Amino acid sequence: MQKIRMSTPIVEMDGDEMTRVLWQWIKELLIKPFIDLKTEYYDLGLKERDATEDAVTVASAEATKKWGVAVKCATITPNAQRVEEYSLKKMWKSPNGTIRRILDGTVFRAPILVKGITPYVPGWTQPIVLARHAYGDIYNNVEDRVEEGQTAYLVICDKNGAELRRKPVHAFGGNGIVQGVHNLDASIASFARSCFNYALDCKIPVWFGAKDTISKTYDHRFKDIFNQIFEEEYAQKFEEEGIYFLYTLIDDVVARVMRSSGGILWACKNYDGDVMSDMVATAYGSLGMMSSVLVSPDGKYEFEAAHGTVTRHYYKHLKGEETSTNSVATIWAWTGALAKRGELDGNPDLVNFAKKLERATIDTIESGYMTGDLIPLFKSEGITPVKLNSRSFLEKIAEKL
């Protein structure tokens, strides 16, 4: 068979632990037999990040800016225990955070749906794509405890530090707490553009909610920026695609999402996205079935799984024990990257292949062959689900493919 050719590389970011093992197997069994794979390889495994003082992470993000499409394996974000385990020089920052900062991107998470696994909200028959604004609000806050009799102010100074305005936050009649948060017009605008672009890609409407009736300056700014960018840059394109943008209060959005059948892009402020992404992911079933993509406002894409390196399974694997780790979200990272590469390069064979690999994966599960995490969730008449190990699941998909 003639392998599918690629004209431009994909940036490949290798990772850690169990997902690093799956990474090799996916390439070996599902991709390389069919594609003359062209990647620019960066090893983001923790050892290599430590050896290069994390320069490899920065280089991989710069390469993504250059080539436009990346596929990333899950990576360890070091904590104190990892510093000891890997004898690290430093507690390196989260690679995802570094890449997101360099690309100024927004993360979109979407569940992968299969027949036989019903979401906990049975009405959600289509994916809810969740976009989280990953800048500011309480995540970059300043906060303090305040004692009875003290007063907290919001003070704005000019660039030389001279006071311009001062507003009392509260004169404390008892002990309490105070918090200062901020956001940036430019960051909100990037977020809005990323959401609108992604919605156009997937041809789904955008819903966005904030609390502008209570927060008449802060949250209202989010509403105004979204509305302005939509009207000036996207309204026409949305109309052509038959999709729409809805802004409404966050409480109303939550109520509408519950009643909806999915098929929407839900844009969330930072905290809402943090909380709601866990709710939505849980409602759709397993972490192993949640895909994720980072999209920059100028249209660069980095595809990955939403889950981590599945450490518990990796330690079993190292001891020679059998594992049954779900590789679906990691396969989706590859198919997402291949399809996007194909789309950008005008290479329909690549796009087609990505679709077929997704179809083969879904068919494999729907015909009853799956990893352990899905077994308790799967209910399909006349089919008794079969639990496969990490590698045999991939072999089964290869057979279908």
Instruction: Provide the binding-site residues for Mg ion, judged by CB under 5 A.
Output: 274, 278
Q: Which of 372, 343, 368, 373 is nearest to 355 (CA)?
A: 343
> Which listed option, Mg ion, ligand NAP, none, makes contact with residue 274 (CB within 5 to 8 Å by class)?
Mg ion
- Decide: is 308 part of the binding site for ligand NAP (CB under 6 A): yes
- Decide: is 237 part of the binding site for ligand NAP (CB under 6 A): no
d(CA 296, CA 197): 10
> CA separation (Å) from 149 to 142, 145, 168?
21, 12, 13
- Decide: is 290 part of the binding site for ligand NAP (CB under 6 A): no
- Decide: is 291 part of the binding site for ligand NAP (CB under 6 A): no
- Decide: is 361 part of the binding site for ligand NAP (CB under 6 A): no
222 φ/ψ angles, rounded to the nearest 5 degrees: -60, -45
Task: Identify whether the C-beta of residue 357 lies closer than 8 Å to the C-beta of residue 394.
Answer: no
Instruction: Enter the tokens of residue 256.
Output: 């509408």
> CA separation (Å) from 226 to 17, 93, 192, 194, 248?
40, 31, 6, 11, 12
d(CA 14, CA 30): 17
- Decide: is 312 part of the binding site for ligand NAP (CB under 6 A): yes
Judged by CB under 6 A, the residue of 223, 307, 391, 396 near ligand NAP is: 307
- Decide: is 367 part of the binding site for ligand NAP (CB under 6 A): no
> CA separation (Å) from 218 to 15, 136, 211, 351?
39, 12, 9, 42
> Which listed option, ligand NAP, Mg ion, none, makes contact with residue 307 (CB within 5 to 8 Å by class)?
ligand NAP
> Which listed option, ligand NAP, Mg ion, none, makes contact with residue 219 (CB within 5 to 8 Å by class)?
none
Judged by CB under 6 A, the residue of 264, 373, 388, 398 near ligand NAP is: 373
Q: Which of 23, 115, 95, 57 is nearest to 331 (CA)?
A: 23
Q: Going residue by residue from 107 to 146, which x/- string records binding to ligand NAP, judged by CB under 6 A?
A: ----------------------------------------
- Decide: is 77 part of the binding site for ligand NAP (CB under 6 A): yes
Judged by CB under 6 A, the residue of 57, 64, 75, 364 near ligand NAP is: 75
Positions in the binding site for ligand NAP (CB under 6 A): 74-77, 96, 287-288, 304, 307-312, 325-326, 373
